[in-house]
Amino acid sequence: MAVIRWVLGQIILLLDFLTSPKPVVREAEAQKAIDDVTATMSLYQFATCPFCVKVRRELKRHSLNIELRDARNDAALKAELVREGGRHKVPCLRIEKPDNSVEWLYESSDIIVYLKSQFKLG
């Protein structure tokens, strides 16, 4: 079972690589403004999770530089996700708000809707 899962994971990564979206290119100032906001976010994820791949492709397509955190192989990050987010489920977007509160947003579709609402992406 582990071998099958590994093979499927490699296929997902290969397909993602071969069909990788082209990142949007912005004026430096516009990109810097977005980078300043995305610096307050991080994505807890697994490399081969298809839902995580879906979100990572959106990040790439829209040139959103959000830190990726490996919640499968890094025990501390995994524990942090469970302790603070409430579930060991990925993808999960950690968002630090201006008032220093933290939101843990689960569900790939909800994460993409949120990012589109924040950055007015096409």
Residue 110 token pair = 């909800």
Residue 72 token pair = 């499968």
Helices (H), the chain: 2-18, 28-38, 50-61, 75-80, 108-119
Q: Which residues bind ligand GSH (CB under 6 A)?
A: 46, 49, 51, 88-91, 107-109
Distance in Å, CB of 68 to ligand GSH, minimum: 15
Q: Which is nearer to ligand GSH, 49 or 59 (CB)?
A: 49
Distance in Å, CB of 40 to ligand GSH, minimum: 21
DSSP strand E in the chain: where? 41-45, 67-70, 92-96, 102-106
Q: Which is nearer to ligand GSH, 4 or 25 (CB)?
A: 4
Q: Which is nearer to ligand GSH, 30 or 113 (CB)?
A: 113
